[in-house]
Amino acid sequence: MIGATNGARVSITGLGCCTPERVVTNDDLSRTLDTSDEWIRERTGIRERRIALPEQALSDLALPAARQALAQAGGEPSSIDLLIVATVTPDMVFPSSGAVLADRLGMPDAAAYDLSAGCTGFMYALAQAYGMIAGGLSSRALVVGGDVLSKIVDWSDRSTAVLFGDGAGAVVLEAVDAGGFLGFELGADGAGGVHLNLPAGGSRMPATAESVAGGQHLVKMNGPEVFKFATRVLVSSAERVLAECGLSVADIDLYVPHQANVRIIDYAVRKLGIARERVVVNVDRFGNTSSGSIPLALADAAADGMLHPGQTVLMTGMGAGLTWGSAVMEWTGQTNGNGQSRRREETVGG
């Protein structure tokens, strides 16, 4: 799916994020796994990640992130009529974390649901919220991207356990006079889905004592295959959306790629020819937070003074599905002067 948004002007007017307080370093992991700080840093760029406490679920991270985004955008939570939570680690299969969160935030009139597109979920949810607002179905949307992958990672598998972290981000979308989203490009390659999956717990393989004992409820990944896919789609998706919008790489002020591995980001940056100082990288501090990755990176860029109204921002995600998705937008920031855009992410837990 590809399209330039030459009609309705819709933008992000509030941004927030939240990570668990608990920091787990590479050295911490090397105490229980046959790995090392050196291997993890060299092969992935990750130094540490945030890991939720046993009692913390996705909505516990999403709630502070959403409150921060709403505070920045201004207005009452009840003004939100659409809430999409992009995640593969909802609090439970149903009710959706969207419905749980709408209740916790006090949004009685919002349509609320979850969206599953792996690490690309946030990009899919942005496009969906844009379409609902542009189509007149929604006037104000809250989009959350977040995951608590630590709950589904196999902590005895060094090839996956070192990569992931927990975190959530949230944005408010609404109509603006100028700027905002310029185009989207989204896609999925189900044939490649086998390279990154969680086999059990659905209707194909319901939970049994054997499925649990066999680790079938934990993430399985063919790292090198996902690496090849990631480097390919980060480049092709960016090129396609830019061409559709009549833009070139030279027009991009800020590039916000999915934070999975710094080597994947470096490859895309080199191939696309984007200047390094225009690239947001925080995978070193958070690891791969799946759907939380891009909103966390946006919030970091805002806190670091890298994100300003009028800038052209390119975001590209990729992940399980296999899926990918890009958006280009002219950043507007909050439009009501209620801004706290230089505030760091919230943390929860102890």
Question: Is the bond preceding 295 in cis, omega lying within 30 degrees of 0?
Answer: no
Which backbone phi and psi does 252 adopt, to 5 degrees?
A: -85, 120
Compute the distance between CA of residue 322 and CA of residue 311 in angstroms, rounded to an integer.
30
Q: Which residue from 140, 164, 12 is spatially nearest to 81, judged by alpha carbons?
A: 140
Task: Point out the residue whose Cβ comes nearest to ligand UT7.
Answer: 223
Taking CB under 6 A as the criterion, the residue among 50, 140, 158, 195 binding ligand UT7 is 158
| Contacting residue, 115, 162, 272, 280, with ligand UT7 by CB under 6 A | 162
Does position 106 interact with ligand UT7 (CB under 6 A)? The reply is no
Nearest to 72 by CA among 332, 301, 336: 336
> Using CA of residue 276, residue 278, residue 279, residue 282, what is the dihedral sign?
positive
Binds ligand UT7 by CB under 6 A, chosen from 184, 227, 255, 324: 227
Q: How far is CA 284 from CA 110, 113, 260, 343, in A?
A: 36, 31, 10, 20
Which of positions 308-337 make contact with ligand UT7 (CB under 6 A)? 319
- Provide, rounded to whole angstroms, the least separation between the CB of residue 257 and ligand UT7: 11
Our answer to whether residue 258 is catalytic in this structure is yes
226 binds ligand UT7 (CB under 6 A): yes
Q: Which is nearer to ligand UT7, 227 or 331 (CB)?
A: 227
Q: How many CA atoms lie within 13 A of 61 on its CB side?
A: 38
Rounded CA separation 4/185 (Å): 9
Q: Is the peptide bond before 242 cis (omega within 30 degrees of 0)?
A: no
The active-site residue, picked from 119, 195, 245, 261, is 119
Q: How far is the CB of 291 from ligand UT7 (least distance, A)?
A: 10
3-state secondary structure 4-45: ECCCCCEEEEEEEEEEECCEEEHHHHHCCCCCCHHHHHHHHC
Binding segment for ligand UT7 (CB under 6 A), chosen from 147-155, 157-165, 279-287, 334-342, is: 157-165
Looking at the Cβ atoms of 41 and 104, the one nearer to ligand UT7 is 41
- What the block records as the tokens of 58 is 């996705």
Which of 26, 245, 258, 282 is catalytic? The answer is 258
Of 35 and 138, nearer to ligand UT7 (C-beta) is 35
Show contacts with ligand UT7 in window 22-81 (CB under 6 A): 35, 39-40, 43-44
Q: Which is nearer to ligand UT7, 116 or 159 (CB)?
A: 159
Binding positions for ligand UT7, 252-311, rule CB under 6 A: 260-261, 288
Q: Count the residues of the shown chain that bind ligand UT7, applying the rule CB under 6 A.
A: 19
Q: Is 119 in the site for ligand UT7 (CB under 6 A)?
A: yes
Closer to ligand UT7 at the Cβ: 152 or 247? 152
Please report the beta strands in the chain, taking only residues with DSSP state E, as ranges in sequence order: 2-4, 10-20, 23-25, 48-50, 82-86, 111-115, 140-148, 166-175, 180-188, 196-197, 220-221, 254-257, 312-319, 323-330, 346-348
Q: Which residues are catalytic?
A: 119, 258, 288
Residues within the interface to ligand UT7 (CB under 6 A): 35, 39-40, 43-44, 119, 158-159, 162, 196, 223-224, 226-227, 230, 260-261, 288, 319
